[in-house]
Amino acid sequence: MAKPLHPKSREWFLERVHCTRLWEEWIKFPANASLQANLVESFEKLGLIRLADSSSAASTAAHQEARENGDGLAR
The pLDDT-based confidence of 4 (bands split at 50, 70, 90) is: confident
The pLDDT-based confidence of 5 (bands split at 50, 70, 90) is: confident
Q: How far is the CA of 51 from the CAs of 8, 38, 54, 61, in angstroms?
A: 23, 14, 6, 11
pLDDT digits (tens, 9 = 90+) for 34-58: 999 999 999 999 988 887 655 555 5
Cα gap 20→52, rounded to integer Å: 24
